[in-house]
């Protein structure tokens, strides 16, 4: 009996330790910025993902996410925003412009965008946006960008059984994308059980334009995904294990060859590939605070934000990691995405605003 | 027996947890800089403390520290001068070694630690904590001769209250406040002091002739800084990873606690900026610091961190930021940060000196 008690006590100690570690209960966040930072007017309900169109100096932003909380469907309006990096920096308020969405088949009331990506199809910027309806049913909404409005033209809605709990996606061709499912359960309670048990319910699929093919299964919450078209490299953030994987995409696009895994020591959300090939991410450095803040988007509860930059070597075997931005949550809460353009940085959040920072010198990155 | 085993197991778990925490074993360091950073040529054996003379745009740097390691007596203690007015660019930044003049100065038994200054009759007077080859302690007093430039040794102060002096701050001409970071005089003794949680640290006021105890029972008081404008004293209590702000009494023999700021990092020396904010060079992963400082002549490195503490007008609350952080590859074992004219110097216990440009005040 004594031996059993000792074993149980040790197991409980180990479990407590694991929880303590995995929820970042001991982590301290020290504030620092790459330059002057300002709030961006517009996406008050968050800016969960950001898609940069480098050639135009603009970025598309998803706002009003509904994630595992169907009861928030009637109070949160899903929106798409456009941020122009060419707008004048100074004392004036920086703005992100709400994009009207046109299309008879588009259901605005059931639109809560999550991850997004783009591909230029016949000279037109085509956006692929993960959507969760009020009832937390999933689809990928396809829009064409009309710069004259500016507006988005809804083209189609893609639904498939493989969209289990889609989080993010990366276009790798016209109407071809790879997307991540960050788990299997469809409720907050189920998700908590999934995390607590360590169940690896995450998966990654390739959508070829008509059907889905599974690429990976049994992953621990694959979240952010980004594709480097120049180098044909794909990056996936496995958030529960606090790491990012680098892959080469094979010709058939259904197969990925693993190159390396980088341990980040922080829960990184969406990924962004910069023009120099470095990968940046908006991360949640203190997970228990992120859970509280994201679980209560309408309140004043905040959680720390962090931007991590991963610079791979030419073989993608080793990487140097830096932290261009960190904040305790008072300036920006629950960072989920980052985008760099022209010595500027946008930091997106799950559900609380959008931040812009100037970068006076690349040395701070 | 069974009843005893459970509390023992829980006790061991708690102890293991405490060690894990106190040694920063789970901590990840993320690199970031306030701008372009470069190594400074000169103080290869470290730059444990830096004293800025704002009016001149120069800084004095202590190098060649021996701390609880008489076996390292082969290390030569030196004083360096850094000129903030030297041209930044592609050329190598340099700190100039200062020759020390004085017939009664023992160069072979000089291993400087903390330092401070006061202007006495128009002359910059330096007060430097020294540990000799046998780890006996003194405060060496120098006058700065800019014509050389060189240091003129004036006198050597010895007193039983210099138990294990770490840092020092001048609060008047030949008036100093000194921190003793513990009582043990050996590495093994210090290890037990830390492990047992024994609070052997003390703070003394030296009035020019005699010592007066200000504080006792502290967990390794380390860095100390004095704000002459507001009469505030700041002390870093390294074992508790916190900094205290005090009001200094008129007689300088007592202090009134204003606030304590938890930093969650082992912060070493303190620097007071012109805007009243306090900077510190910190050891963010203590287990790696212990290895690196314990092997100053080896290749082992440890992370570096600079923290900035900005107090409110009443010194009750403070905002903390991190202008610099590095895993140890760029600069190892940071012990001090000094700012001047959009430049930052980061000193180390025993491995070099780093200079960083501050691209914009918003990065601090």
CATH number of residue B200's parent domain? 2.120.10.30
The model's confidence at residue A66, banded by pLDDT at 50, 70 and 90, is confident
Instruction: Give bridge partners of residue A120 from the DSSP assignment.
Output: A125
Minimal CA separation from B67 to chain A, in Å: 29
pLDDT for residue B29 is more than 80: yes
| Over residues A260-273, mean pLDDT | 96
The model's confidence at residue B2, banded by pLDDT at 50, 70 and 90, is low
From CA A106, how far away is CA A84, in angstroms rounded?
25
Residue A59: its pLDDT value, please?
98
Domain assignment of residue B272, yes or no: yes
- The CATH code belonging to domain A31-364 is 2.120.10.30
Minimal CA separation from B56 to chain A, in Å: 28
From CA A254, how far away is CA B251, in angstroms rounded?
78
From CA A126, how far away is CA A134, in angstroms rounded?
24
Q: Looking at A239-304, which runs of residues are DSSP E strands?
A: 243-249, 256-263, 267-273, 279-284
pLDDT for residue A17 is more than 80: no
Contact present, A50 and A353 (Cβ < 8 Å): no
Residue B21: its pLDDT value, please?
76
For residue B238, which of B192, B275, B270 has the smallest C-alpha distance? B270
pLDDT for residue B78 is more than 80: yes
What's the DSSP call for residue B351? Answer: S
Question: CB count, 10 Å around CB of B325?
Answer: 24
Kindly report, residue by residue over B226-285, the tens digit of the pLDDT.
998 899 999 999 889 899 999 999 898 999 999 999 999 999 999 999 999 999 999 999
| Over residues A85-103, mean pLDDT | 87
Residue A26: its pLDDT value, please?
67
Kindly report, residue by residue over A154-195, the tens digit of the pLDDT.
999 999 999 999 999 999 999 999 999 999 998 988 988 888
Domain assignment of residue B10, yes or no: no
From CA A26, how far away is CA B186, in angstroms rounded?
32
Chain B residues near residue A262 by CB distance under 8 angstroms: none
Who among A17, A35, A308 is closest to B362 (CB)?
A: A35
| Over residues A327-340, mean pLDDT | 96
Kindly report, residue by residue over A211-237, the tens digit of the pLDDT.
998 999 999 899 999 999 989 999 999
Who among A32, A323, A360 is closest to B323 (CB)?
A: A32
Contact present, B343 and B48 (Cβ < 8 Å): no
For residue B73, which of B114, B117, B133, B10 has the smallest C-alpha distance? B133
Minimal CA separation from A262 to chain B, in Å: 13
| Over residues B329-357, mean pLDDT | 95
Instruction: Give bridge partners of residue B261 from the DSSP assignment.
Output: B243
Residue B331 structural domain? 36-363
C-beta pairs of B360-364 under 8 Å, 24+ apart in sequence: B360/A35, B360/A36, B360/A358, B360/A360, B360/A361, B362/A33, B362/A35, B362/A36, B362/A37, B363/A32, B363/A33, B363/A34, B363/A35, B363/A360, B363/A364, B363/B34, B363/B35, B363/B323, B364/B34, B364/B308, B364/B321, B364/B323, B364/B339
Residue A141: its pLDDT value, please?
96
Residue A262: its pLDDT value, please?
96
Kindly report, residue by residue over B185-221, the tens digit of the pLDDT.
888 898 778 878 888 999 999 999 889 999 999 999 9
From CA B163, how far away is CA B202, in angstroms rounded?
9
Show me where the domains of chain A are located. 31-364
Chain B residues near residue A244 by CB distance under 8 angstroms: none
Distances (CA, A) of A196 to A191, A220, B238: 9, 12, 36
* Best residue of B285, B317, B328, B363 to probe chain A, by most A CBs closer than 10 Å: B363
pLDDT for residue A280 is more than 90: yes
Domain assignment of residue B188, yes or no: yes
Average of per-residue pLDDT values in chain B: 92
Question: 3-state class of B41 per DSSP?
Answer: strand
Task: Decide which of A285 and B136 is more confident.
Answer: A285
* Best residue of A30, A281, A322, A355 to probe chain B, by most B CBs closer than 10 Å: A30
Average of per-residue pLDDT values in chain A: 92
Domain assignment of residue B18, yes or no: no
Is B357 part of any known ligand binding site?
Answer: no
Our CA angle for B336, B339, B342, nearest 5°, is 145
B7 touches chain A (CB under 8 A): no
Question: 3-state class of B145 per DSSP?
Answer: strand
The model's confidence at residue A42, banded by pLDDT at 50, 70 and 90, is very high
Question: CB count, 10 Å around CB of A239?
Answer: 27
Contact present, B178 and B204 (Cβ < 8 Å): yes
Least confident of A47-51, A70-74, B91-95: A70-74
Whether A28 and B37 lie within 8 Å, measured CB to CB: no
From CA B294, how far away is CA B300, in angstroms rounded?
9
The model's confidence at residue A76, banded by pLDDT at 50, 70 and 90, is confident
Structural domain count of chain B: 1
| Over residues A34-63, mean pLDDT | 95
Domain assignment of residue B27, yes or no: no
Residue B210: its pLDDT value, please?
85
pLDDT for residue B102 is more than 90: yes
CB pairs under 8 A between A and B: 90
Question: 3-state class of A23 per DSSP?
Answer: coil
Whether B32 and A36 lie within 8 Å, measured CB to CB: no
Task: Decide which of A121 and A296 is more confident.
Answer: A121
Residue B303: its pLDDT value, please?
97
pLDDT for residue A268 is more than 60: yes
From CA B97, how far away is CA A115, in angstroms rounded?
58
Catalytic residue among A32, A112, A114, A154: A114
* Closest chain B residue to the Cα of A1, Cα to Cα: B2
Contact present, B58 and B359 (Cβ < 8 Å): no
Sort strands B304-311 and B278-283 into parallel, antiparallel or unpaired: antiparallel
The model's confidence at residue A11, banded by pLDDT at 50, 70 and 90, is confident
What size, in residues, is chain B?
A: 364
Least confident of A7-16, A24-33, A133-142, B168-177: A7-16
Whether B10 and A13 lie within 8 Å, measured CB to CB: yes
Minimal CA separation from A253 to chain B, in Å: 34
Domain assignment of residue B30, yes or no: no
Where does residue B101 rank: exposed (0-12), middle (13-18), buried (19+ CB within 10 A)?
middle
Element (H, E) at B50: strand B50-53
Task: Decide which of A230 and B305 is more confident.
Answer: B305
From CA A304, how far away is CA A296, in angstroms rounded?
15
């Amino acid at each position: 009996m004594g031996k059993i008690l000792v074993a149980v006590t040790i197991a409980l100690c180990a479990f407590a330790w694991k929880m303590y570690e995995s929820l970042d209960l001991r982590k301290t966040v020290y504030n620092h910025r790459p330059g002057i930072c300002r709030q961006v007017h517009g996406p008050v309900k968050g800016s969960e993902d950001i898609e940069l169109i480098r050639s135009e100096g603009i970025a598309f932003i998803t706002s009003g996410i509904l994630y595992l909380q169907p009861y928030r469907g009637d109070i949160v309006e899903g929106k798409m925003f456009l941020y122009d990096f060419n707008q004048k920096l100074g004392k004036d308020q920086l703005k992100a412009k709400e994009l009207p969405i046109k299309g008879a088949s588009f259901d605005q009331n059931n639109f809560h965008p999550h991850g997004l990506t783009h591909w230029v199809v016949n000279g037109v910027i085509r956006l692929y946006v993960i959507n969760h309806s009020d009832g937390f049913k999933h689809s990928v909404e396809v829009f064409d960008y009309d710069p004259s409005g500016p507006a988005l033209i809804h083209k189609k809605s893609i639904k498939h059984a493989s969209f289990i709990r889609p989080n993010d996606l990366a276009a790798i061709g016209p109407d071809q994308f790879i997307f991540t499912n960050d788990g299997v359960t469809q409720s907050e309670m189920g998700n908590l059980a999934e995390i607590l048990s360590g169940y690896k319910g995450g998966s990654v699929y390739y959508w070829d334009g008509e059907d889905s093919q599974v690429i990976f299964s049994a992953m621990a919450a694959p979240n952010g995904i980004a594709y480097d078209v120049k180098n044909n490299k794909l990056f996936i953030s496995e958030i529960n294990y606090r790491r990012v994987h680098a892959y080469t995409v094979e010709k058939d696009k259904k197969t990925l060859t693993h190159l390396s895994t980088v341990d980040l020591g922080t829960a990184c959300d969406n990924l962004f590939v910069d023009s120099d090939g470095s990968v940046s991410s908006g991360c949640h450095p203190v997970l228990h605070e992120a859970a509280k803040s994201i679980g209560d988007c309408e309140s004043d509860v905040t959680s720390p934000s962090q931007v991590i930059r991963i610079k791979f070597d030419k073989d993608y075997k080793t990487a140097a990691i830096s932290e261009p931005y960190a904040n305790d949550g008072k300036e920006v809460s629950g960072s989920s995405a980052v985008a760099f353009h022209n010595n500027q940085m946008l930091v997106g959040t799950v559900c609380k605003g959008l931040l812009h920072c100037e970068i006076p010198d690349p040395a701070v990155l | 027996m069974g009843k005893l085993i459970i509390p023992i197991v829980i006790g061991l778990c708690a102890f293991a947890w405490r060690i894990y925490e106190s040694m920063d074993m789970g901590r990840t360091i993320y690199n970031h800089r306030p701008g372009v950073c470069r190594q400074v040529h000169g103080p290869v054996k470290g730059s444990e403390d830096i004293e800025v003379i704002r009016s001149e745009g120069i800084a004095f740097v202590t190098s060649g520290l021996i701390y609880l390691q008489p076996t390292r007596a082969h290390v030569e203690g030196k004083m360096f001068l850094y000129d903030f007015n030297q041209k930044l660019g592609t050329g190598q930044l340099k700190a100039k070694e200062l020759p020390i003049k004085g017939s009664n100065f023992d160069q072979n038994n000089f291993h400087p630690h903390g330092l401070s200054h006061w202007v006495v009759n128009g002359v910059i007077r330096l007060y430097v904590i020294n540990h000799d080859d046998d780890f006996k302690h003194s405060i060496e007093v120098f006058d700065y001769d800019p014509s050389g430039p060189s240091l003129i040794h004036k006198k050597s102060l010895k007193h039983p209250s210099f138990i294990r002096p770490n840092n020092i701050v001048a609060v008047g001409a030949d008036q100093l406040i000194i921190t003793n970071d513990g009582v043990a005089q050996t590495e093994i003794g210090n290890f037990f002091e830390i492990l047992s949680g024994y609070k052997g640290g003390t703070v003394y006021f030296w009035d020019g002739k005699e010592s007066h105890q200000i504080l006792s029972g502290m967990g390794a008081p380390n860095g100390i800084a004095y704000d002459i404008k507001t009469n505030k004293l700041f002390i870093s209590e390294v074992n508790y990873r916190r900094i205290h702000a005090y009001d200094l009494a008129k007689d300088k023999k007592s202090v009134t606690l204003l606030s304590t700021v938890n930093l969650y990092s082992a912060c070493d020396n303190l620097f007071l900026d012109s805007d009243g904010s306090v900077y510190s060079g910190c050891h963010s992963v203590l287990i790696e610091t212990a290895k690196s400082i314990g092997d100053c002549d080896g290749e082992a490195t440890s992370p570096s961190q600079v923290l900035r503490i900005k107090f409110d007008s009443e010194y009750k609350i403070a905002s903390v930021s991190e202008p610099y952080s590095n895993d140890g590859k760029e600069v190892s074992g940071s012990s001090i940060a000094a700012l001047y004219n959009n430049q930052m110097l980061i000193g180390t216990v025993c491995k070099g000196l780093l200079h960083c440009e501050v691209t914009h005040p918003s990065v601090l």
